[in-house]
Amino acid sequence: MNRLPLHTKIFIGLAVGLILGLLCEIFLPGDARVQWVVDNIASPVGDLFLRFVKMVVVPLVFTAIILGIADLGDVRKIGRIGTKTLLFTLVITGVGVLTGIVLVNLFQPGAGIPESVRADLLTSLTGNKDISKIVTNASEAKSALQSLLLLVPENPLADAAGVFNSSYQGGGLLAVMFFAVVFGVAMALSDPVQVEPLKQVLQGVYAVIMKIIDFAMNLAPFGVAGLIFKTATLLGFATIGLLLKYVLVVLAALAIHQFITYGLIVRYGAKRDPVQFFKDLREVMLTAFSTSSSSATLPTSIRVTADTLKVNRDITNFVLTVGSTANQNGTALYEGITVLFLAQFFGVELSLFQQVQVVLLSVVAGIGT
């Protein structure tokens, strides 16, 4: 097992938890022994994993977004090409998120759970908290002006402390993200010599956080097994249907964005044949798929773009370097789908304005990926 890559271990944990949960639901429905396993083994292990991850959410989001934006540099100094690159990144990432959100609203992958099962699941996830209050607070749509004001924190530390407090009425994580964006922009526009020590400190904090996440991910196969076992014993075969719909919506949105959205851009923006374009980039795509890392793929991207696509090397170096940090279309698209999927799953109606918020924040989160 130690030789297996982490994602394989997580997949095994997912499969084991799902199969055992379904078997218990089929052969031991309502059995007290199964409930004991859920309460004393599966749920604590899953909660331990989630707590380990939640522990670093605020510092991770804060440092990642700041460094992601600060690494872009001063837009005023990079000129016309830099401005076009950043505008393209923001627009195309927004298009990607919108694609995902349209598909989620169209196919409703998180809908269709019986109300009684949803209530049981909420109880298992939230313990003895007032579930109705949690859902009511989440579903209360504030006015656009109120929501915008809450994005600007009076006290970022208070918002950071209220991230996982369901009764907190401030901006929470959204306000922390806004503060990080403003901080990152100000840092990018400041004298590089003066802010370099601060940047190094933030990079150090980020490196430590990533090491903590490494610790947490060692628990992931067991945590995932516990969480999916608990869910499967409650939802039974509905679990498979929900997960399958969710996965298919994500894959469909990614395929549409890659081959249709980018295909149209290549055809009418770059005046190239999309089929030949993707053939020319097959080495880049295979490298990206096998490494799951924009940074690890960057040297191959630069070489292929300059040598095969014959793009000016100076433009290639700049645009692809910025893009490897900021142009995370697929991640932002996935985040938008996930937020709406979970809202549907827990029966929380998001207003049009709230869905617009999801789009904008997914774009920002993509930069901080």
pLDDT in tens, 287-324: 887 677 776 788 888 889 988 998 888 788 778 877 77
The alpha helices in the chain, defined as continuous H runs, are 6-27, 32-37, 43-54, 57-70, 75-107, 115-126, 131-139, 144-151, 156-161, 173-189, 192-235, 238-255, 262-264, 274-280, 282-291, 294-307, 313-326, 329-345, 352-367
Encode pLDDT of 245-280 as tens digits: 999 999 999 999 999 999 999 999 989 999 999 999
Q: Which residue has the higher pLDDT, 124 or 282?
A: 282
Pick the range with the lowest mean pLDDT from 111-115, 135-139, 359-363: 135-139
The pLDDT value given to residue 142: 60
The closest alpha carbon to 174, from 369, 350, 361, 359, belongs to 361
- pLDDT at residue 54 in the model: 85
CA distances from 366 to 61, 112, 265, 323 (A): 11, 30, 20, 11
**pLDDT grade, residue 104 (50/70/90)?**
very high
| Residue 337: per-residue pLDDT | 93
Rg of the Cα trace of the chain?
22
Q: What residue has token string 């904008």? A: 360
d(CA 227, CA 49): 9
- pLDDT for position 292: 72
139-155 mean pLDDT: 71
**Of the candidate ranges 28-37, 72-81, 175-184, 275-284, the one whose mean pLDDT is the lowest:** 72-81
Give yes or no for residue 360 having a pLDDT over 90: no
Give the residue-averaged pLDDT of 90-116: 88
* pLDDT-wise least confident of 135-144, 196-205, 230-239: 135-144
Angle between helices 6-27 and 238-255 (to 10 degrees): 150
Residue 75: band (very low, low, confident or very high) from pLDDT cuts 50, 70, 90:
low
Mean pLDDT calculated for residue range 181-195: 88
CA distance 234 to 35: 10
Whether the per-residue pLDDT at 138 is higher than 70: the answer is no
CATH classification of 6-367 is 1.10.3470, yes or no?
A: no
The confidence score (pLDDT) of residue 243 equals 84
Reply yes or no on whether the pLDDT at 131 is more than 60.
no
How buried is residue 343: exposed, middle or buried, by Cβ count under 10 Å (0-12/13-18/19+)?
A: buried
Under the banding of pLDDT at 50, 70 and 90, the label for residue 194 is very high
Q: pLDDT digits over 39-60, tens only?
A: 899 989 998 988 888 888 889 8
Span 9-28, mean pLDDT?
91
Helix axes 352-367 and 329-345, enclosed angle (nearest 10) = 140
Percent of the chain with pLDDT over 70: 88
Can you tell me the mean pLDDT for 189-205? 92
pLDDT for the residue numbered 72: 66
In this structure, how many other beta carbons lie within 10 angstroms of the beta carbon of residue 332? 27
- Of the ranges 67-71, 205-209, 232-236, 283-287, the best mean pLDDT one: 205-209
- Tell me the pLDDT of the chain averaged across its residues: 84
